[in-house]
Structure 1
Amino acid sequence: MSEQQAIERVPSGVPGLDTILSGGFPKGGIHILQGPPGAGKTTLGNQICYHHAAAGGQALYVTLLSETHARMLLHLGTMDFFDASRLPEQISYISGLGALDGDGLSGLVTLLRREIAGRKATVMVLDGLVAAEDRAASDTEFKKFIQELQTQAALYGCTVFLLTTAKGQAIPPEHTMVDGIIELTDVRFGSRTERGLFVNKLRGSDYLAGRHPFRITAEGLMVYPRIEAAFREVTRPDEARSGRLSTGVGGLDAMLGGGMIEATVTGLLGPSGIGKTSLGLHFLGGSSATEPGLFFGFYETPPRLVQQAASLGLDLEGAIARGDVEILWQPQGEELQDALAHRLLDAVQRRSVRRLFLDGLGGFIEASVEPGRMSRFFAVLVNELRARGVTTLYTMETRDLIGPGIQMPITGMSSMVESLIAMRYVEHQRRTCRLLSVVKVRGSGFDPALREFIITGGHGLRLAGSFEGAKDLLSGFARERGGPDPSSSISEGP
Structure 2
Amino acid sequence: MTEETEDPHRMELDRVPTGIAGLDTVLHGGLLKGAVYIVQGVPGAGKTILSNQMCFSHVAAGGRAVYVTLLAESHTRMIQHLRPMAFFDESVIPERLYYVSAFRTLEDEGLKGLLDLLRREMRGHRAGVMVLDGLVAAEETAASDREFKKFVHEVQMHAALNGCTVLLLTTGGPGPVRAEHTMVDGLIELDDQLFEVRTERSLQVRKFRGSDSLRGRHPVRITADGLVVYPRIEAVFSTPSVPDAATADRVATGVDGLDALIGGGLIEATTTALMGPTGVGKTTFGLHFLAQCSAAEPGLLFGFYETPARLRLKAARLGLDLEGLEKTGALEIVWQAQTENVLDELAHRMRDAVLRRGVRRLFVDGLGGFIESAVHPERMSRFFSVLSNEIRALGVTAIYTLETRDILGPTLQVPVSGISSLVESVVFLRYVEVQARTRRLLSIAKIRDSGFDPALHEFEITGQGVRIVGPFAGYEGMLSGYARTLDAPAPASPSKRPPRQG
Same fold, TM-score > 0.5, yes or no: yes
1:200 corresponds to which of 199, 206, 216: 206
AA aligned opposite 2:98: S
Structure 1 CA distance for aligned equivalents of residues 175 and 358 of structure 2 = 49
- CA distance in structure 2 between the aligned counterparts of 1:29 and 1:68, rounded to whole angstroms: 28
2: CA distance, partners of 1:371 / 1:140: 45
Q: Does 1:182 align with 2:205?
A: no
Query: How many Å apart are 1:167 and its aligned residue?
Result: 7.5
Compared CA separation, residues 464 and 301, structure 1 to 2 (3 A)? same
Structure 2 residue 403 is the aligned partner of structure 1 residue 397: yes
- Residues of 1 paired with 2:118 and 2:348: CA distance? 40
Instruction: Pick which of 465-474 and 121-130 moved more.
Output: 465-474
1:331 corresponds to 2:337 = yes
* 1:100 counterpart residue number: 106
Deviation at 1:321, TM superposition (A): 0.7
Question: Aligned AA for 1:214?
Answer: V
Distance 2:402 2:338 in 1: 16
Q: CA deviation at 1:166?
A: 2.0
Match of 2:486 in 1: 481
Task: Provide the TM-score with structure 2 as the length reference.
Answer: 0.95
Q: Residues 4 and 307 from structure 1, CA distance in 2 versus in 1: closer, same or farther, beyond 3 angstroms? A: farther
Residues 35/4 of structure 1: CA separation in 2 closer, same or farther (3 Å cut): farther
- How far apart are the structure 1 equivalents of 2:491 and 2:36? 71
Tell me how far 1:170 sits from its aligned partner.
Answer: 1.0
Q: 1:66: how far off?
A: 5.7
**1:229-378 residue pairs with structure 2 within 5 A?**
229-378=235-384
2:401 match: secondary structure = strand
Say which of 432, 435, 438 aligns to 2:438.
Answer: 432
Contact 2:291 2:322 in 1 (8 A): yes
Say which SS state the counterpart of residue 420 (structure 2) adopts: helix
Matches within 5 A, 1:62-73: 62-65=68-71, 67-73=73-79
Give distance in 2, aligned partners of 1:207 and 1:248. Answer: 44
Task: State the secondary structure of the residue aligned to 1:313.
Answer: coil
Measure, in 2, the Cα distance between the counterparts of 1:38 and 1:294: 36
* Aligned partners of 1:66 and 1:128 also within 8 Å: no
**Contact 2:72 2:103 survives alignment (8 Å):** no
Cα distance in 1 between the residues matched to 2:444 and 2:72: 63
CA displacement 1:114-168 (0-9 Å, x = unmatched): 1111111111000000000011122211110011101110111111000001287
Return closer, same or farther for 1:269/1:463 CA change in 2, 3 Å cut-off.
Answer: same
Regions of 4+ moved over 6 Å: 1-5
> Does the residue aligned with 1:407 lie in a helix, a strand or coil?
coil
1:38-83 superposed Cα distances (whole Å, 9 cap, x missing partner): 1111111100110011011111000003642011111111211111
- Cα distance between partner residues in 1 of 2:323 and 2:138: 62
Residue 465 in structure 1 maps to residue 438 in structure 2:
no
Q: Structure 2: any 5+ residue segments left out of the alignment?
A: 1-5, 493-502
Tell me the alpha carbon deviations over residues 432-491 of structure 1, each in whole angstroms, 9 at most, x when there is no partner. Answer: 10000111011111001101100001x1000111112111001111111145699xxxxx
User: Aligned letter for 1:94?
Assistant: V
Would you say the 8 A contact 1:66–1:127 is kept in 2? no
Q: Which residue pairs with 1:419 in the alignment?
A: 425
Q: Distance in 2 between matches of 1:276 and 1:286?
A: 16
Distance 2:195 2:74 in 1: 33
Residue by residue over 1:274-328, the C-alpha shift from the partner in whole angstroms, topping out at 9 and shown as x without a partner, is: 0000000000011111110000000111111111111111111111111111100
Match of 1:385 among 385, 388, 391: 391
Counterparts in 2 of 1:449 and 1:319: CA distance versus 1, 3 Å: same
User: 2:11, 2:471 → 1: CA distance?
Assistant: 62
**In the aligned structure 1, how far is the partner of 2:383 from the partner of 2:268?**
22
- CA contact 1:4–1:204 (8 Å) conserved in 2: no
Contiguous gaps of at least 5 residues in structure 1: 487-494
Secondary structure at the counterpart of residue 81 of structure 1: coil
Moved more, 15-24 or 104-113: 104-113
Correspondence 1:455 to 2:456: no
Further displaced range: 69-78 or 337-346: 69-78
Partner of 2:499: none
User: Do the aligned residues in 1 keep the contact of 2:173 with 2:191 (CA within 8 Å)?
Assistant: no
**What's the C-alpha RMSD, in Å, of the aligned pairs?**
1.5
Distance 1:153 1:52 in 2: 16
Distance 2:22 2:427 in 1: 36
- Number of the residue aligned with 1:48: 54
* One-letter amino acid of the structure 2 residue matched with residue 83 of structure 1: D
Residue of structure 2 in register with 1:109 after alignment:
115
- Alpha-carbon distance between aligned partners in 2 of 1:144 and 1:168, rounded to the nearest angstrom: 24
- The CA distance in 1 between the partners of 2:219 and 2:73, in whole Å, is 26
Which residue in the other structure is 1:492 paired with? none
- SS of the residue corresponding to residue 258 of structure 2 reads helix
CA distance in 2, matches of 1:335, 1:440: 32
Aligned match of 1:34:
40
Cα pair 2:304 2:335 within 8 Å, conserved: yes
| Residue type of the alignment partner of 2:277 | P
Q: Distance in 2 between matches of 1:140 and 1:453?
A: 78
